[in-house]
Amino acid sequence: MIKIYSPASIGNVGVGFDVLGVAIKPIKNTLLGDVITITKSKEFNLINQGKFEHQLPLDIKNNIVWHCWLKFCKKIKKNIPVSIKLEKNMPIGSGLGSSACSIVSTLVALNTFCSEPIKKIELLKMMGQLEGKLSGGVHYDNVSPCYLGGLQLILQGKKIISQQLPYFKNWYWIIAWPGINISTSEARSILPMQYQRETCIQHSRNLAIFIHALYTNQQKLAAQSMQDIIAEPYRIKLLPNFLSIKNKIIKIGAMACGISGSGPSLFSISDNLEIAEDISNYLSKNYLKNQNGFVHICQLDLKGTRKIG
């Protein structure tokens, strides 16, 4: 039996649209991610469990786990009869890398079960392709940190997909999912096809400043540069009261705040645990729309996908 856990992630990280992603873990050691368990079987079987099982499609061939198994079998040119149990602990369409959790944990579990016939780089490419089936384009800002852990810069080269960046150990990442869902493809479709030159220049400047600040250990400079001028101005219409919530969080003491991935989750950053708790309490009272929503104070998950149990 193989049991694999994959953590939640924040795509874009505000300043890095499609080129930055970070894996996160709650400081209270809660598992925030999906778990895949694989056992031997006479034929393929998929069992869905977990808090968000009800969000999964009833038709097995519409489940991304089935597509992962099919792609893996085609890659190794062999049909693998296994029973797969998906513990769906991540809400779909949350902006926290839910699909990446399922994709990465499934492929890693299958590869481990079969004594790792596929190398890491090829496995990561498969993850990006499967993610593209759901969002409309290959991208790695969720699957890469989910798989490898930490803060990842997406290079998307033939031999190197991503590399880990330095990070600030004392940063707390407060994430809040309001309990509603937004499809990634919908959130991408509302973005403009063209941008003004000044916007492109400023976006490049912000991203360069952020990465420079990471390598030179300038926390305030890094936080100040975390401005999303590519997606946030257009996606706020999908997020209830986002701007007023963001302004309040900044007043409480957040160093930065932005949309996690394509939303509706948001993330904020603080280097002070007391302030992080104040932000968490405010979001719990003002951003959550129903009992399904949640808020977690997190730090970076440096391990990424791993065996558990």
Residues 101 and 148 in one domain: yes
How far, in Å, are 3, 13, 201 from residue 196 at the CA level? 48, 22, 9
**Does the pLDDT of residue 137 top 80, yes or no?**
no
| Total Cβ atoms within 10 A of residue 216 | 10
Please tell me the predicted confidence (pLDDT) of residue 161: 96
Tokens representing 30 are 């809660």
**Does the pLDDT of residue 193 top 80, yes or no?**
yes
Distance from C-alpha of 60 to C-alpha of 194, rounded to nearest angstrom: 38
Domain contains 236: yes
| Total Cβ atoms within 10 A of residue 74 | 11
| Number of domains within the chain | 2
Condensed to tens digits (0 to 9), the pLDDT of residues 212-262 reads 999 999 999 999 999 999 999 999 989 879 999 999 999 999 999 999 999
Pairing outcome for strands 151-154 and 162-164: antiparallel
Domain contains 268: yes
Domain contains 309: no
Domain finish residue from 139, 165, 191: 165
Contact between 65 and 134 (Cβ < 8 Å): no
Residues 27 and 157 in one domain: yes
Domain that holds residue 47: 2-165
Residues 86 and 143 in one domain: yes
CATH code, domain with 244: 3.30.70.890
Domain contains 308: no
Residues 149 and 201 in one domain: no
**Does the pLDDT of residue 16 top 80, yes or no?**
yes
Domain finish residue from 165, 181, 213: 165
Residues 6 and 103 in one domain: yes
